[in-house]
Amino acid sequence: MKENIIYIIESNIKQQIFKLLSKNKYKIKINKKKIKIPDNILKVVNLEWEKFRIKNKNIAKNNTTYFFSKFNKNKGIDFVTPNSFKYAHTFGRCEKFQKYSWLADASGLCALSSLCLVITSDNKIILGMKSNMDNKISGFSGYPLKNKGDIEKNSINIHKYITRTVCEELNIRRDNISKIFRIGQTYSPNITDRNNKLNIKVFNNNYIIKTKENSLEIKRKFKKDFQFKKLLFIENNVAMLKKFILNNYDKMSVHCIAAFYNYLALKCSISELNEFLYKLAISSTQIKLNKKLGNMQTNIFLKKLNPLIWGLFGRKNIKNYTVADKMWEALFKKKCMPIKYFLFGSNQEKKLFSYLDNLKKNPAFVGCNIAMPWKKLFYEQCNRIENNSIAVKTINTIVKNKDGLYGYNTDGIGLINSIKSYTNLENKIVFLIGAGGAAQTVPYWLLKEKISKLYIFDIDEEKKNSLIHCYSHKYHKKEIIGLNKKDINKIMSNIDILINATPCGMRGENKQLPLNKLSLKLCKKSCLFVEMVYNPNITPMLKYAKKNGNYICPGVNMLVEQAAVSFFYAFGCDLTKEEKEVMKNVALKGVK
């Protein structure tokens, strides 16, 4: 069961809703905004909707849903965007789509709905027991439809759609609705009911509806349907309402509790209301108070309320040398993603694991990247590992899933993608210098690209032989050759691509070149020098290669490409060329 949190963003208001739109102090206006869903995610949305539609033929109609877009408090206007109900169903109610939470925020896929408390002529509040939500106790909903005349002059006639839907649910006549008042608004980022049905990313307007009919008349005429199976009637006084809520909070929908909070805010003093909230704290429901702050976009508002968490683990001094935080934050800003980035550095395993354990318990934690020297260490903390990382037991990306932590290594594919922007790899002879953490999955991706030969050198013979052993049995038809120092100069003139996977040249490192200048000079002019070190951008090796007329591929390119693959694993869609450029430009500023 997830923690249920609901935000009260407007309260202690009483705005009468009239039939005539011009008389209302609160309005809902429609704006046209295209929702961009990446093709691969849209395909999954359509498949999920089709499965739901087949199982629920009576209710699965792809009607229009109105998604909250922005608001203007000074003019009392909420703006909404019409779109298909299938988005509300998939992004709002399907667990598998929770990893696309950021996309729902950035695209404005947060439904604007209603929850109404109906008061009878004999002063009782009506609640319903939900047929489709495990007997949950709730108020009555309201949803505007295009084909029911609810839309007038690019605005939603609130009085029409509220009376229409509530009268349908209670089987009462429209002309018996005497008054409607808007009393507040709530936002729920993540609600899971007892039957594990999700109901997330919903803005709810709360309304009080007064009817001329008494409780006995309404009870007599009520008919069970797919929404409600039974009606409950509660005496409309503060003491009885508080008692009912405290005795039944575990049976009530969280949206209903929040609506009662807004109703009680009109009737109670602040001290009484605070006392009521304190008593409610024993439940799994958390009511948090936030205010609308004026003319803001929804995604900015959500960023304030409910940021997700992504970040990086590294050495104690990681803040001194990484640009990852600035790079990722720029990407999140570009994509309007409500995500908080963390940097955690330590030289003590105990502290690293303690921090990770706390993150795992946080429902906002999406995942993180792992920097050297912890890539092997964090491998052991994962519940599942991608296939190409199992042999080398090294990861650089963790993504949280419902059944634990998944480990990936994006270094190799990130390097390959950066090289492919300069040249193809097929039939090329490649020299990999370094067999440590960053190089672990590089041979896998190089061999997959059908290179003709791979040379590997490391000053640590054990590391070199171990890396060769990992891949030689699987790719026995390919030449994977370990070099000794004395053999290096013999092969340099044949090399098409030279890759530095050592720390040599990194800012703060004493050793500046992975090989001596004489060896590097033996390379042919067409040889591409590839760097995995990204700080500084032009390392001593690249500077020397450029001087000799060779092509160079700086490490920042790999940094961006491996981040793009990490992003795909965590959030389910590819970055555009423009988004990669944003990351690269920020990274370059940090490594000058």
Q: What is the DSSP letter of 143?
A: -
Residue 334 is predicted with a pLDDT of: 84
Q: CA–CA separation, 563 vs 211, rounded Å? A: 58
Q: CA–CA separation, 559 vs 580, rounded Å? A: 10
CATH H-level, domain 4-33+59-299: superfamily: Nucleoside Triphosphate Pyrophosphohydrolase (3.90.79.10)
Residue 280 is predicted with a pLDDT of: 64
Which residue from 210, 203, 207, 156 is spatially nearest to 182, judged by alpha carbons? 207
231 in helix, strand or coil? strand
Residue 101 is predicted with a pLDDT of: 61
Residue 542 is predicted with a pLDDT of: 96
Strand 140-141 to 111-119 pairing: antiparallel
Give, rounded to a whole angstrom, the gap between the first and last alpha carbons of the chain: 48
Query: Mean of the pLDDT values across residues 470-496?
Result: 85
The answer to whether 68 and 110 are in contact (CB under 8 A) is yes
Q: CA–CA separation, 350 vs 371, rounded Å? A: 17
Q: Per mean pLDDT, which range of 58-67, 317-326, 577-586 is the poorest?
A: 58-67
Structural domain boundaries in the chain: 4-33+59-299, 308-409+561-591, 415-553
Which residue from 66, 281, 75, 261 is spatially nearest to 183, judged by alpha carbons? 261
- What's the predicted TM-score (pTM) here? 0.62
One-letter amino acid for residue 383 of the chain: N
Task: For residue 437, give Cα distances in angstroms to 171, 434, 492.
Answer: 68, 9, 24
For the chain, the C-alpha Rg in angstroms (whole number) is 30
Query: Per residue in 108-121, pLDDT tens?
Result: 667 788 999 999 99
Residue 353 is predicted with a pLDDT of: 94
Q: Which residues contact 157 (CB under 8 A, 6 or more apart)?
A: 19, 21, 144, 149, 150, 151
Q: Which residues contact 310 (CB under 8 A, 6 or more apart)?
A: 328, 332, 339, 340, 341, 342, 366, 367, 368, 570
Q: Which residues contact 352 (CB under 8 A, 6 or more apart)?
A: 313, 344, 346, 374, 377, 378
pLDDT at 124 over 90: yes
The pairs formed by 372-375 with CB atoms below 8 angstroms and a separation of 24 or more are: 372/314, 372/315, 372/436, 372/437, 372/438, 373/315, 373/437, 374/313, 374/314, 375/409, 375/437, 375/440
One-letter amino acid for residue 286 of the chain: Q
Largest CA distance in the chain: 99
Query: Mean of the pLDDT values across residues 33-59?
Result: 72
Kindly indicate the confidence band of residue 1, based on its pLDDT and cuts at 50, 70 and 90.
very low
The b/e string for 372-384 (b: 16+ C-beta within 10 A; e otherwise) is eebbbebbebbee
Which residue from 76, 118, 137 is spatially nearest to 213, judged by alpha carbons? 118
Q: CA–CA separation, 223 vs 230, rounded Å? A: 8
pLDDT at 146 over 90: no
The b/e string for 317-355 (b: 16+ C-beta within 10 A; e otherwise) is ebeebbbbbebbbbbbebbbbbbebeebbbeeeeebeeb
Query: Per residue in 330-348, pLDDT tens?
Result: 998 887 676 889 999 999 9
Q: Per mean pLDDT, which range of 227-236, 252-261, 398-407, 497-506 is the poorest?
A: 252-261
User: Which two three-digit tokens encode residue 335?
Assistant: 């994509």
pLDDT at 318 over 60: yes
CA dihedral in degrees (376, 381, 383, 386; nearest 10)?
Answer: -20
Kindly indicate the confidence band of residue 56, based on its pLDDT and cuts at 50, 70 and 90.
low
Which residue from 330, 502, 530, 311 is spatially nearest to 414, judged by alpha carbons? 530
Residue 287 is predicted with a pLDDT of: 55
Residue 134 is predicted with a pLDDT of: 65
Q: CA–CA separation, 266 vs 270, rounded Å? A: 10
Task: For residue 3, give Cα distances in angstroms to 25, 32, 116.
Answer: 35, 34, 24
Which residue from 540, 545, 502 is spatially nearest to 520, judged by alpha carbons? 545
377 vs 281, more confident = 377
pLDDT at 59 over 80: no
127 in helix, strand or coil? strand
Q: pLDDT over 70 for what percent of the chain?
A: 82
3-state secondary structure labels for all residues of 65-107: EEEEEEEECCCCEEEEEEEEHHHHHHHHHCHHHHHHHHHHHHH
Query: Per residue in 413-425, pLDDT tens?
Result: 999 999 999 999 9
Query: Per residue in 251-295, pLDDT tens?
Result: 887 788 889 988 998 988 776 776 676 666 544 445 555 555 443
Q: CA–CA separation, 398 vs 378, rounded Å? A: 9
Cross-strand bridge partners of residue 82: 66
Residue 104 is predicted with a pLDDT of: 63
Query: Mean of the pLDDT values across residues 391-397?
Result: 87
Q: Which residues contact 348 (CB under 8 A, 6 or more apart)?
A: none
Look at the domain 415-553 and name its fold.
Rossmann fold (3.40.50)
Say if residue 338 is preceded by a cis peptide, omega within 30 of 0: no
pLDDT at 38 over 90: no
Give the CATH number of domain 308-409+561-591: 3.40.50.10860
Query: Per residue in 440-467, pLDDT tens?
Result: 889 989 998 999 999 999 999 999 998 8
Which residue from 251, 253, 225 is spatially nearest to 169, judged by alpha carbons? 225
360 in helix, strand or coil? helix
- Phi, psi for 128 (deg, rounded to 5): -120, 150
4-33+59-299 matches 308-409+561-591 in fold: no
